[in-house]
Amino acid sequence: YWGPACRYERPRGGRYRIHNQFGVEIIGDGNALADINAIYLAWQILKKIYLGAGKAGPKNNFMVDINSIGCSNCRPKMKKKLIDYFQNFLPDLCPDCNRRFIENPLRILDCKEEKCQKIIAGAPPLVDLLCEPCKNHFKEVLEGLDSLEIPYNLNARLVRGLDYYTRTVFEIYQTNDKTRQRTLIGGGRYDDLIKLLGGPATPAVGWAAGVERLIETIKESGLDIQEEKLTDICIVQLGEKARKQALAVAAMLNNEGFRATTIIGKDSLKGQMRSAAKLGAQICLIIGQREVIDKSAILKDMDSGSQETILQKKLVEVLKKRLK
């Protein structure tokens, strides 16, 4: 999505009262793969901006701060631990943190006041208080980022600024931003929000980026952004194991300079192929259960309709000839 938004908090550098933002929401998927997909997409956007302008890529300039703040099962334990810790420092905390202590002690961890930061540094890490399902979910997310070679910093104090977040929360920032006041992309999982608003219990994960802040960063970096085609290759997957493999194949192809993407949120082959056609993909790679076992992919030419099975280790060689 893309659209205007209004900010209640005090405006500051790149954070305007009325601003524009774009983002991604994956609704109805509670699997850790959805978290990985969301972060990977955010990472790829930054990577395309910088590498497309001939600058150093995100591996050298950006970092993912990530944490898990648990679910409704482990949240009471977290709040109790934080209350027990912060109640000894209430006279030294800022007025906002004293209010947060009563409303939601987790939000104290988000305070940027210097005097509060010193106290926050000694607070118990939230990851040590996760229930077993949340711990396993977070472990899978981190393993996914490792497999995609996305560098991250496990930030035990990261909670984001909204009360509805659950489990994974993350921010992507420039490593040369020592003040950490200019997050470029931020988001996380919000499995309870739709139910809180009156809908059915629905897991979801997403992120948003401030357009004005990103434009400021682009200008400061002296980038010359060229308009380009959305994608050349769409990877269609059938089944849970295929989803994992499809993401790894997409990462490999993007690292080789191809414009490759996976179709998120659609299970049927027909629906995914229709989305690929809308994106203008020249090639579709189809990975099903057999292809997972064989480490292969069905390569389908979207113009001619012809298809053939290719081993994944030979995809780069074949695609370079097809898309030259």
Token output for 82 = 């934080």
The whole-number pLDDT of residue 111 equals 84
The whole-number pLDDT of residue 14 equals 56
Asked whether residue 296 is assigned to any structural domain, the reply reads yes
Token output for 148 = 């995609």
256 and 305 assigned to the same domain: yes
Asked whether residue 228 is assigned to any structural domain, the reply reads no
Q: What is the DSSP letter of 304?
A: T
Distance CA 272, CA 50 (A): 29
189 and 316 assigned to the same domain: no
Residue with tokens 């659209």: 3
The whole-number pLDDT of residue 177 equals 66
The whole-number pLDDT of residue 52 equals 43
The whole-number pLDDT of residue 140 equals 95
Q: What is the rounded radius of gyration, in angstroms, for the C-alpha atoms of the chain?
A: 21
306 and 176 assigned to the same domain: no
175 and 88 assigned to the same domain: no
Asked whether residue 226 is assigned to any structural domain, the reply reads no
Asked whether residue 227 is assigned to any structural domain, the reply reads no
pLDDT tens across the length of the chain (324 residues): 888 887 766 666 556 677 788 999 999 999 999 999 999 999 988 887 764 444 444 444 788 999 999 998 988 898 899 999 999 899 999 998 999 998 888 888 888 888 898 899 888 888 889 999 999 999 999 999 999 989 999 988 888 767 788 999 999 988 776 655 678 899 999 999 999 999 999 999 999 988 888 888 777 777 666 656 668 899 998 888 888 888 889 989 988 888 888 887 666 888 888 888 888 889 999 999 999 999 999 999 988 889 999 999 999 999 988 887
Distance CA 172, CA 53 (A): 20
| Residue 286's CATH number | 3.40.50.800
47 and 135 assigned to the same domain: yes
The whole-number pLDDT of residue 285 equals 93
Q: pTM, whole model, 2 decimals?
A: 0.70
68 and 86 assigned to the same domain: no
Number of domains composing the chain: 3
150 and 109 assigned to the same domain: no
Asked whether residue 158 is assigned to any structural domain, the reply reads yes
The whole-number pLDDT of residue 62 equals 82
Residue 250 Cα to chain centre, angstroms: 16
34 and 169 assigned to the same domain: yes
Residue with tokens 């309709």: 305
Q: Which of 196, 221, 246 is the last residue of a domain?
A: 221
249 and 304 assigned to the same domain: yes
Asked whether residue 299 is assigned to any structural domain, the reply reads yes
167 and 216 assigned to the same domain: yes
Domain holding 83, by residue range, is 75-127
| Residue 175's CATH number | 3.30.930.10
191 and 274 assigned to the same domain: no
What count of Cα atoms within 13 Å lies in the side-chain half-sphere of residue 73?
Answer: 8
The whole-number pLDDT of residue 1 equals 87
199 and 238 assigned to the same domain: no
Q: Which long-range contacts (CB under 8 A, 24 or more apart) does 131-135 make?
A: 131/70, 131/71, 131/73, 131/74, 133/71, 133/73, 134/68, 134/70, 134/71, 134/73, 134/74, 134/167, 135/68
Asked whether residue 305 is assigned to any structural domain, the reply reads yes
CA 250 → CA 89, 273, 286, distances in Å?
A: 49, 16, 12
Asked whether residue 239 is assigned to any structural domain, the reply reads yes
